[in-house]
Amino acid sequence: MAEKSIVFFDIDGTLLTEEKKLPASTREAIFTLKEQGHEVAIATGRAPFMFEDIRNELEINTFVSYNGQFVVLNGEVIYTNPLNISSLEKLTEEALQKKHPIVFMDHEDMKANVPEHSYIRESIDTLKIEQFPTHDPDYYKDRDLYQTLLFCPEGEERYYESKYQDFDFIRWHPVSVDLLPKGGSKAKGIEKIVEKLGIPKEKQYAFGDGLNDIEMLRSISNSVAMGNGKEEVKVAAKYVTKSVEDDGILHGLRMLELL
């Protein structure tokens, strides 16, 4: 097992282009990695139901979803880290007063606490997924939630950050913020997988481009930022590859001498 490497890939801006396309070179590179006996996994902020098609296409059964809050190894759930519901209820009440909608998310579905809102449509549409949140303001009750989306203009999340200490807030869109359990991250989720597999640090690799990838890239010994990534992401990584549209995954894997 020690000879085997594991490579974690973010999805948006890493596996997929801005148009949500999977480059042919990326697909070929991932299957070559697997043929060589390496473990290939996904590490994303998306919900499991938001990337089932990618998992099926790439035949990947190990993933870190919800930025580390719902972790699956070879098709089996091995770790979950749900949100504090009492704190979420208070935040939701206050957000409603400020006309900031919320989308509640568990491992199977997502529900909005308002019937409709332009911010929800604007941000979710960029993911180019089939699912869209329907209305259920009580969806947070009697179930575990692993992430919530707070919809507000840039900067307005700072009020919630100062008041709600049970959560971390990570912006992923100009009008939307991921709301996570405090201290939760892709890095924490990855730890659960590599511990189970017994793969040492020097055999761990990760590719990412966004703000929610920073802790992952800092914690993984062989980390790679995409050329299209934000500057603070590139600073966090050990290496920088080309952009996703310019065969960045293939280039990065060759740079790491995994291919």
- Catalytic residue set: 10
Strands 110-112 and 102-105 turn out to be antiparallel
How many angstroms separate the CA atoms of 118 and 222, rounded?
40
Residues 6 or more apart whose CB falls under 8 angstroms from that of 108 comprise 48, 49
How many angstroms separate the CA atoms of 224 and 236, rounded?
9
| % helix, strand, coil for the chain, step of 5 | 35, 25, 40
Q: What are phi and psi of 57, to 5 degrees?
A: -65, -40
Residues 6 or more apart whose CB falls under 8 angstroms from that of 78 comprise 71, 72, 192, 193, 196
How many angstroms separate the CA atoms of 217 and 234, rounded?
9
